Amino acid sequence: MKMLVINFIIFAISTFSFGQSSIVFESNTSISIDTDCDICADVITINGSYSGDGTQCLSPLPVELITFTANVNGNKVTVNWQTATEVNNYGFEIERQIVEKLRATSNEWEKIGFVEGHGNSNSPKDYTFTDNLLGLSLNLNYRLKQIDFDGNYKYSDEITVELGELVKEYKLEQNYPNPFNPSTVIKYSIPVVRNEYFRSLQTTLKVYDILGNEVATLVNENQKSGNYEVKFDASNLASGIYLYKLQSGSFIQTRKLMLIK
């Protein structure tokens, strides 16, 4: 522990103010200040002993959370929060929990991110974190795990975001409009697979001519459970009947569409 010793040689009683504390000492008094104390009120000892309120190293004050909200924008959930003051704040873990309607809430929380804190602050601080759900249809809880530099932590209240019902089955819808010229929209759904809500499946959506030749690839990527829609522009194709095929995991389905120019 680093100690700074200051010797005061005065001839009258004086007052030393520190924060909200006042210490009265007389001439030839030796004061030691603990410069390692990690909060504003350092340890002050007078002639080797503590004296007065505020002269001990206080426990860090909790981080004061003013607001904690979440906003949905397309396939993203943005979590925002603001603190009024911070002491010894290492940062925040963001945790997510799945809520299934008509069932009890799952007890499993998943860490999805971390945002560094400001350590010690007496002014408001704003934080944000974006959770990209890629079309996932779920109701979710979010909470913050505030962590001190010494490893202590506490949780915020929970907030709920409603994104819709769980997708429980595959679906490839008829394109609309149909017949079309020159573009149409194809919608499809990918369900939760064996309760693995955030598992991605290799998914393709391709268009073929009536002879089975591939003429367009609309989707070729890993996709999570959710509802999707894709625009198909057939400006470069001739009029006729075409087939579009969805393949996701072991699911395969094909439908017809008609282009009339």
Q: Fill in the DSSP letter of residue 17.
A: E
Distance from C-alpha of 36 to C-alpha of 254, rounded to nearest angstrom: 70
| Tokens describing residue 74 | 């397309």
The owner of tokens 């395969």 is 252
Exposure string for 88-100, b = 16+ CB within 10 A, e = fewer: bbbbbbbbbbbbe
Burial of 170 (0-12, 13-18, 19+ CB in 10 A): middle
Q: Is the dihedral of CA 166, 167, 169, 173 positive or negative?
A: positive
3-state SS record for 127-156: EEEEEECCCCCCEEEEEEEEEECCCCEEEC
Does residue 25 contact residue 12 with C-beta atoms inside 8 Å? Answer: no
Fold identical between 64-162 and 171-259?
Answer: yes
pLDDT in tens, 201-235: 899 999 999 999 999 999 999 988 888 999 999 99
Which residues, in sequence order, are CB contacts of 166 under 8 Å at separation 6+?
100, 101, 137, 138, 191, 192, 225
Give dist(CA 90, CA 25) in Å, integer.
38
pLDDT at 98: 80
Give, for all 261 residues of the chain, the pLDDT tens digit. Answer: 334 433 333 333 333 322 333 333 333 333 333 334 333 333 333 333 333 334 334 444 579 999 999 988 866 899 999 999 999 999 999 999 887 654 544 568 989 999 999 999 999 999 999 998 766 667 889 999 999 999 999 999 999 888 766 778 899 999 999 999 999 999 999 987 766 666 788 999 999 999 999 999 999 999 888 889 999 999 999 999 999 999 998 999 999 999 999
Question: Under CATH, domain 171-259 is a member of which superfamily?
Answer: Macroglobulin (MG2) domain (2.60.40.1930)
Level-2 CATH architecture, domain 64-162: Sandwich (2.60)
What is the rounded radius of gyration, in angstroms, for the C-alpha atoms of the chain? 31
What residue spans of 67-190 are helical by DSSP H?
Answer: none
- Predicted structure pTM score: 0.50
| C-alpha–C-alpha distance, residues 110 and 100, integer Å | 15
Cα 164 from Cα 138, distance rounded (Å): 5
Closest CA to 205 of 183, 172, 233: 172
The values of phi and psi at residue 136, to 5°, are -65, 135
By residue count, the chain amounts to 261
Domain residue spans in the chain? 3-50, 64-162, 171-259
